[in-house]
Amino acid sequence: MPGIYSQILHKKREGKKSLAILIDPDRNKLKNLDQIIDLSNQHAVDYFFIGGSLLAEDRFEFCIEKIKSGSEIPLVLFPGNQFQIHFAADALLFLSLVSSRNAEYLIGKQVEAAMKISESNIEVIATAYLLIDGGQSNTASYLSQSLPIPHDKVEVAVATAVASKLLNFQCIYLEAGSGAVNPVAPEMIRAVSKRGDLPLIVGGGLRSAEQLATAFHAGADLVVIGNAVESAPGLISSLAELKQTFHDKKSKA
């Protein structure tokens, strides 16, 4: 099986979009996990992401086992800290918070986790992580003590993405924050996607198939949805259907 990053790159080159469902391993957020796994299997969701900024009651290990035993969908670590690393996963987004000026989240946490990761066989995907203002304060920004990029400062996001490409990151991740009031604006997604050939991941505050379509049309290659699916797992079918109609239209064009 090709690595996760090769898959993502291949899909990007073919103009295919991907959907990832984010599982937050906080006990309070897991009441629908079985249903989410079943529906994701039925509707061929592309990836599970797992991770959270702050876990009130950590069920990380439990979630990994549950997903791995219930599904063959690739599981990608999206760690909120260096403790959310587990080698049963298929890949790890090795995130650097490049929108920040806090060295701890640009390189400090990565140094702490580096030896453990390099001694494993897990696939590592170097990911430039940009926090974008999603209209309310968010946990990631608070914990990392860093300001998000203002939602309308498209040129700052573009320059940050271009610098990340020059630094040889493999993916760009535009993050409006979990539960954001405003998802990343399509203008910003469009401008970042135009300037680079790196796979573009977008997440935060997306709640409907229409918003997913907007993000895909603007140039997102992979969209991540957490909260909306957690509270209404049935949404997975309309998200997957939208992705499919998007591909069908594209192949007819």
Residues that bind ligand 1GP (CB under 6 A): 22, 175, 178-180, 203-206, 224-228
Contact 21, 63 (CB under 8 A): no
Least gap, CB of 191 to ligand 1GP (angstroms) = 19
Pick from 36, 80, 102, 39: nearest CA to 178: 80
Q: Round to whole Å and give the CA distance between 63 and 30.
A: 9
Q: Round to whole Å and give the CA distance between 134 and 139.
A: 12
Alpha-carbon distances, residue 121 vs 19, 89, 93 (angstroms):
25, 10, 14
Residue (189 or 224) nearer to ligand 1GP, CB? 224
Least gap, CB of 152 to ligand 1GP (angstroms) = 20
Residue (102 or 231) nearer to ligand 1GP, CB? 231
Residue (77 or 166) nearer to ligand 1GP, CB? 77
Least gap, CB of 107 to ligand 1GP (angstroms) = 21
Q: Are strands 91-97 and 171-175 parallel, antiparallel or unpaired?
A: unpaired
Residue nearest to ligand 1GP (CB): 203
Residue (5 or 173) nearer to ligand 1GP, CB? 173
Q: Kindly report the number of other CB atoms within 10 A of residue 127's CB atom.
A: 23
Residue (76 or 122) nearer to ligand 1GP, CB? 76
- Tokens standing for residue 197: 């050939």
Least gap, CB of 253 to ligand 1GP (angstroms) = 29
Least gap, CB of 132 to ligand 1GP (angstroms) = 10
Least gap, CB of 204 to ligand 1GP (angstroms) = 4
Strands (E), 53-204: 75-77, 91-97, 123-131, 171-175, 200-203
Q: Are strands 200-203 and 18-23 parallel, antiparallel or unpaired?
A: unpaired
